[in-house]
A and B are shown apart, each in its own frame.
Chain A
Amino acid sequence: MSGGAHYTLHHPKWYRRRMSVWWWLQKRTYTKFVLRELTSVFVAFFALMTLWQVRALGEGPEAYARFLARLQTPPFLALHGVAFLFVLFHAVTWFNLAPKAMVVRLRGKRVPDFIIAGLNYFAWLVASGVVAWLWLRG
């Protein structure tokens, strides 16, 4: 018996593995999950940008023009590009996961997942279409 073991006969001595700080890099699905969780930061970023925009709008045409000019600088364009990709990832993963939480039964039978997800995507498309129409109309 080695010195460090301290084993009492007939008494279990469990070994507990410590979880690595880098556990989320050990499997692709875990990494994808952590990235998905991170998307919330970028969703918050867009919300803050909208608040900033509203404030600039309230301060008058000059302030709003300054705000728009700032958005066109390379750092803001790059930041928005990255944020957009993350928000897109956020939306797609959200719609793909929606059927798991939403169980709809029609005449006792469960509506298949792809229909629930499809309806979500459809609603997304319609909402985007309406926004685009409102935008492009003027």
Chain B
Amino acid sequence: MPSTVALSVTRYRPEEESEPTRQTYEVPYRKDWVVLDALNYVKDKLDGSLSFRWSCRMGVCGSCGMMVNGEPKLTCAAFLSDYFPGPIRVDPLQYFPIVRDLVVDITDFIKRLKRVKPWIIWKEEKPLAEGEYRQTPDQLDIYKQFSMCINCMLCYAACPVYGLEPGFAGPAAIALAQRYNLDSRDTGALERLDILSEKNGIWDCTFVGECTKVCPENVDPAGAIQQYKLTSAAHWFKSFLLPWGTK
């Protein structure tokens, strides 16, 4: 059994080349290593110029997302043994502009996220004397799944609609909007609906369903979007039949 595995990595050095190239590194094969360990081995021992993002190495921070053999993965959770004997292909997240090597520019994602107002909106803030905003376990259960998102953007890299329609709000942003819509303390659902039922919102989604498959936290963004479509359609019917009742 060979004790090494080949890692074929995208290189892009904008100061030297006008488009990405590939470079292959032989790294030790260890059963307990993940792709991120292999990349760190390359950085430490073989080639210090390789750039990639990572932080927690335990599936919490969401910064080490890359394409591993063409699939969006958290490299801290992609074991070498699953790809053995290789070669393992590592690329930057699909559909995002590449800054350098495996690092992509996420400005666009952050902008989209902000647009859907992913925070609790109160019509009126309660006076402090009235105490805390209480929530029952059942009320928490309704949105909890959608609140598990770690913003790793794997769902964007899996979504062909995001690749084809550059304005599309995208799976994670909509799932997070839904997380706040379903929160019993929130009163901003109509504001978000105005943003998301328009162009580049939920109706751009054609339900490919890949976002849900690649999500490392089981957030189910595809489900969130379809449920949101149902809410939006119901709201439209209501405003059509009872125009005075939805204001």
Contacts and interface: CB of A to CB of B under 8 A. Distances in A.
Q: For the side of the interface on A, what is the size category?
A: 20 to 34
Contact of A15 (B20, B160, B208): B20
B55 interface: no
Contact of A12 (B99, B208, B223, B229): B99
Chain A facing B: main interface SS: loop
B163 A1 contact: no
A15 B16 contact: no
Interface string B94-110: 11011100000100000
B111 to A, nearest CB: 15
Contact of B163 (A9, A13, A19, A103): A19
A133 interface: no
B223 A101 contact: yes
Contact of B97 (A4, A16, A27): A16
Interface in A1-56: 1-2, 4-7, 9, 12-17, 19, 23-24, 26-27, 29-30, 33, 37
Given A1-B16, A101-B226, A14 B160 contact: no
B138 interface: yes
Contact of B105 (A5, A12, A19, A100): A12
B84 interface: no
Nearest to A11: B14
A54 to B, nearest CB: 29
A14 B16 contact: no
Contact of B141 (A26, A33, A108): A108
Contact of A97 (B15, B97, B209, B213): B209
A108 B184 CA distance: 14
Contact of A100 (B12, B20, B222): B222
Contact of A5 (B18, B97, B206, B210): B18
Given A12-B99, A37-B206, A1 B15 contact: yes
B227 interface: yes
Contact of A108 (B16, B138, B160, B163): B138
A100 B230 CA distance: 11
B47 to A, nearest CB: 20
A91 B14 CA distance: 49
Closest 5 CB pairs of A and B: A14-B97, A101-B226, A13-B14, A108-B138, A7-B15
Contacts of B209: 29, 33, 97, 100
B220 A100 contact: yes
A9 B230 CA distance: 49
A24 B160 contact: yes
